[in-house]
Amino acid sequence: MAVRSCLDALAYDVFLNFRGSDTRHGFTGNLYKALHDRGIHTFIDDEELQRGEEITPALQSAIEKSKIAIIVLSNNYASSSFCLDELTYIVECLNRKDLLVLPVFYNVDPSDVRYQKSSYGEALAKHEERFEHNMEKLQKWKMALHQVANLSGFHFKYGDGYEYQFIERIVELVSSKINRASLPIADYPVGLDSQVLEVKKLLAVEFDNSVHMIGIHGIGGIGKSTLARAVYNSIADDFDGSCFLENVREKSNKHGLKHLQSILVSEILRDKKINSASVEKITSMMQHRLQQKKVLLILDDVDNHQQLEAFKPYWFGPGSRVIITTRDKQLLASHEVKTTYEVKELNKNNALQLLTWKGFKTEIVDPSYEEVLNCVVTYASGLPLALEIIGSNLFGKSIKEWRSAINQYKRIPNNQILEKLKVSFDALEEEEKSVFLDIACCFKEYKLTEVEDILRALYGDCMKYHVGVLIEKSLIKVSQYGTIKLHDLIQDMGREIDRKESPKEPGKHRRLWLWKDIIQVLKDNTKFVSLSVLNFDWCKHLTRIPDLYGLPNLSELSFQRCQNLITVHNSIGFLHKLKTLSAVGCRKLRSFPPIKLTSLEKLELSFCSSLGNFPEILGKMENMRELNLLHTPIKELPLSFQNLIGLRGLCMTNNEIVRLPSSIVMMPELTTISASGLKGWQWLEQEEGEEKVGSIVSSKVEYLRASKCNLDDDFFSIGFTRLAYVNQLDLSNNNFTVIPECIKQCQLLQRLDVRNCKHLREIRGIPPNLKYFLATNCVSLTSSSISMFLYQKLHEAGNTLFHLRGGRITERFDHQSNGPSISLWFRNKVLCHDIAPCDNYTTVFSPIVLINGNQYSFAFELCFSIVNGKGNETYILF
């Protein structure tokens, strides 16, 4: 057999080292054939290569590139200097690389090899005469023989058995070593290496001699099995035996758990006859014979407790590792698998790389494909299964075909992807399936609490349990902000399942989410009396909300961000069970119909940038709690607004409202008004048609924000006097010149903010229970007016924290001391000391403050306005 000219480029499973004249045409020739017949790539050298004095670079390369070296130590082996040179090089490779060396003592005693006795001693004595001037070579040979004789191997002696059976045992061992180290993984293992390292850290193979279990979990198609195979390939050689049981769910259903147990024992003990053993014998072997083995076991795609119970970790020896892949995280928890790893989606770069390899078999792609490739990556959302299937299906296709295909996938998901993902859905109970389909079709990105409230009417108190099951089975997630998350393709899978129930008659669906289907159903007046939630959010093609009189049980209606919506049907105003109505971000919506929604709790009309008028309220609405009117061009609120008798919170930020009826603060339940950035604010006297409010009746408003509303001194005249219960008042960035004495009537006011009121010149009154008074950057407040104010009011205000535009500290206080510690006196009382000096714009300090004999300690900011490098203006905080 001639040596291949491309020998240097080849990698071998096995390298055979032997004495040709002893065994080439007998034992070694038969061993080579048996290995070759099992598909094991084996190197056997040609006699021509042994005529020289030194082994060739080609042979050295073959040794280096082999996984296993088999040394056939026969009677005349040591007489060949060529064999000994090969052996020496093999031992060198053993010491510096991952090479498995198997000695075969073929009718020789291992001790003769170890100590160079009998034929080995005689051969080395002759070599000593021949190499008397190269004793270093002789010494290397002796050391190599001694080292290889100490390795675990095979011993054959004439008369002890059949040679073919002996060869079979060698081939079985080699086969197990070769096979276990080369499980197939993905063609393009993009992004896999980093995850393998993370799992290996969790396994701690080198540092923990206990039996250790870990779980790898995640959605279908995410790459759990691929990751497990890669980990297996990386660590299998560290164990006495290893077994990868793939598709446990499918194979246990088809063949039973006994079949899987027999595979495990057979592979670990390397005995094929075990496959036919009884259940009792298999169990006994697992409990007794495997306890002496350090085992690596992979249980791939597990979906129930019985499958885990069939492989108890205490049946395996010290240092064993069991890796379980599953879609069900709860299954791991119930089996007390505390160490788990969740497989992550591919990031955009890795996803694009995988798609490119699958779709083009190369990393370099025509730039004209860039846009469509990015579309596919977005659609696949990091799921390797989807990227591989789509890339393979579109290999060699044109850009137009790629675009057409992705549009089709968006409309109807690919069956190969769908079936893989559907496994998790099929494992659910019937009611769990229904909850999942509700969420997938209608509630992605919703707050979990909202969804539970909506669906509790259908599923009762079981909702929390059902949601927990869906999380455990990797079908949904809940973000740190409490919103429901679904992988895009999981959502597509759920919607496709629902669509298939009645693909041509959407009116028979329980759930509707496509705007075209919804409108068609409504136009057809299909019986949808029980429909409770209708969501048109982000419908680009929706221009009008149709007649909804046929939906009397509707409790939630949303058409947010419908950017082409122009009109809304009047029927919306008379849906008496409607609780939530949202039209946020409908930029072209010009008007809203009158409403008489007796059950409505929340109305959202924010960011409707063409909505000029607030809808008329046709009757008392006592359940209304919250109204948001952010960034709308509404100029005034109608008198009928007071029919919102249950309103508690009103937000009118950045509107064009210039007039408000004074009675607004007298609405019976209103406690919060946030009105920042109005074009103007002018209180109106009671007008005809308003409910009369007696002058002694006070408003319930506790929080009033009227920042940047062009307020002047008239603000404090009419409506303001009714704010007896206000607790927080934000009047910052306005135009009034005086804080009048009447503000003292606000006896519950604790926080007053007039920052950046640049026309403010005088402060005539301070509420008696004020805790925070913020008046920084009020540039018209002179130092003298502040000093007079402080002198008159400070001791009356008690523990008030003042933020004032300052002059120098010395202008505020009777006395002050300098040095590392500063003390300030006001009316002969120490107010503040231990203020750390600073040279920055802002610093934080913790002064000890004495007010009326009481000591307080706070952390405050001391701010300096720097002019010419010196601090000459201070904000005093105490």
Burial group, residue 592, by CB count within 10 angstroms (0-12, 13-18, 19+): buried
Go through the chain and tell me how many residues it has: 878
Q: At what angle do helices 81-96 and 57-64 cross, to 10 degrees?
A: 40
* Cα Rg of the chain, angstroms: 42
DSSP states of 391-439: HHHTTT--HHHHHHHHHHHHHS--HHHHHHHHHHHHTS-HHHHHHHHHI
Task: Out of 48, 64, 86, 669, pick the active-site residue.
Answer: 86
Return d(Cα 118, Cα 116) in angstroms, integer: 7
Calculate ∠ Cα 247-253-254, nearest 5°. 90
Of 161-170, 247-256, 547-556, 858-867, where does mean pLDDT reach its minimum? 858-867
Residues 682, 664 contacting (CB under 8 angstroms): no
Please indicate whether residue 455 or residue 297 has the higher confidence score (pLDDT): 297
Bridge-based pairing of strands 829-833 and 672-674 is unpaired
Share of residues in the chain with pLDDT > 70 (%): 82
Indicate the DSSP class of residue 441.
I
Q: Does the pLDDT at position 773 exceed 70?
A: yes
Other Cβ atoms closer than 10 A to 56: 14
Using DSSP, state whether 159 is helix, strand or coil.
coil
Q: Assign 466 to helix, strand or coil.
A: helix
pLDDT range class, residue 802, cuts 50, 70, 90 = confident
Task: Give the per-residue pLDDT at 210.
Answer: 87
Residue 786 pLDDT: 73
Token pair recorded at residue 785: 């007016």
Q: In the prediction, which pLDDT does 207 show?
A: 74
Separation between Cα atoms, residue 156 and residue 166, nearest integer Å: 7
pLDDT at position 87, please? 95
Considering the chain, what is the average pLDDT of its residues? 82
Residue 502 has pLDDT above 60, yes or no: yes
β-bridge partners, 318? none
Percent of the chain past pLDDT 90, that is, above it, reads 37
Closest C-alpha to 803, from 848, 769, 771: 771
Cα separation, 34 vs 610, in Å, equals 84
764 neighbors 741 (Cβ within 8 angstroms) = yes
Residue 293: the pLDDT is 85
Q: Helical H runs in 575-697?
A: none
Rounded mean pLDDT, 492-518: 78
Task: Identify the residue whose tokens are 């989807």.
Answer: 386
Confidence of residue 584 (pLDDT cuts 50, 70, 90): very high
Predicted confidence (pLDDT) at residue 149 exceeds the cutoff of 90: yes
Residue type, 258: K
Contact 548, 569 (CB under 8 A): yes
Beta carbons of 232 and 243 less than 8 angstroms apart: no
Closest CA to 112 of 149, 143, 79: 149
pLDDT digits 0-9 by tens, 278-299: 556 777 777 777 888 889 999 9
- pLDDT value of residue 183: 80
SS3 773: strand
Please, what is the angle between helix 257-269 and helix 279-288, to 10°?
A: 50
If phi > 0 it is left, if psi is from -120 to 50 it is alpha, else beta; for residue 311 that is: beta
- Nearest residue to 268 via CA among 232, 213, 316, 312: 316
Q: Tell which wins on pLDDT, 481 or 149.
A: 149
* pLDDT confidence of residue 800: 72
| Cα→Cα distances 429→436, 441, 649, Å | 11, 18, 42
Q: Report residue 360 as tokens.
A: 């083009």
- Residue partners of 127: CB distance under 8 A and separation at least 6: 78, 81, 84, 138, 141
Give residue 254's pLDDT.
Answer: 86
Distance (Å, whole) CA 686 – CA 823: 54
Res. 702 pLDDT band, cuts 50 70 90: very high
State the burial class of residue 718 (Cβ atoms within 10 Å of its Cβ: 0-12, 13-18, 19+): middle
Contact criterion met (CB below 8 Å) for 578 and 602: no
- Our answer to whether residue 86 is catalytic in this structure is yes
pLDDT tens per residue across span 53-111:
567 888 888 898 888 999 999 999 999 999 999 999 999 988 766 788 999 999 999 99
Residue 843 has φ and ψ, to the nearest 5°, of: -140, 160
- pLDDT tens-digit profile of 217-269? 998 889 999 999 999 988 887 788 889 999 999 888 888 888 888 888 888 87
Residue 834 — left, alpha, or beta (φ > 0 → left; ψ -120 to 50 → alpha)? left
Q: Do the beta carbons of residue 675 and residue 709 sit within 8 Å?
A: yes
Which residues is 815 bridged to in the sheet? 825
The identity of residue 56, as a single letter, is T
Exposure string of 143-166, with b = 16+ CB inside 10 Å and e = fewer, is ebbebbbeeebbebeeeeeeeeeb
Strand ranges inside 143-223, DSSP E:
154-156, 212-217
Report the greatest alpha carbon distance in the chain: 131
pLDDT value of position 828: 47
CA distances from 225 to 85, 384, 500 (A): 44, 12, 30
Q: Facing residues of 705 across strands? A: 674, 730
631: how many CB neighbours lie within 10 A of its CB?
18
Please tell me the number of Cα atoms within 13 Å of 87 on its side-chain side.
30
CB 856 within 8 A of CB 848: yes
Q: Are the C-beta atoms of 730 and 757 separated by less than 8 Å?
A: no
pTM score, whole prediction: 0.52
In 3-state terms, what secondary structure has residue 625?
A: coil
- Report pLDDT for 99: 84
Within 8 A by CB and 6+ apart from 480, the residues are none
CA atoms within 13 A on the CB side of 85: 14
Please name which of 182, 242, 228 lies closest in space to residue 39, comparing C-alpha atoms. 182
Tell me the two tokens of residue 372.
């469509």
Cα separations in angstroms, 34 against 25, 28, 165, 380, 667? 14, 10, 11, 47, 95
Is 725:701 a contact under the CB 8 Å cutoff? yes
Q: How far apart are the first and last CA of the chain?
A: 98
pLDDT of residue 796: 55
CB 310 within 8 A of CB 260: yes
Residue 28 or residue 858, greater confidence: 28
Model pLDDT, residue 97:
67
What per-residue confidence (pLDDT) applies to 238? Answer: 79
**CA dist., res. 682 & res. 221, Å (int):** 62
- Euclidean distance between CA atoms 836 and 404, whole angstroms: 70
pLDDT (tens digit per residue) in 821-867: 444 554 444 444 333 333 333 444 445 555 555 555 544 444 333 23
The torsion of the CA quartet 839, 841, 842, 848, rounded to 10 degrees, works out to 40
Q: Is 682 within 8 Å of 661 (Cβ atoms)?
A: no
Edge-first strand listing for the sheet containing 42-43: 42-43, 12-17, 66-73, 100-106, 154-156
The predicted model gives 725-746 an average pLDDT of: 92
DSSP label at residue 510: S
Does residue 707 have a pLDDT over 90?
yes
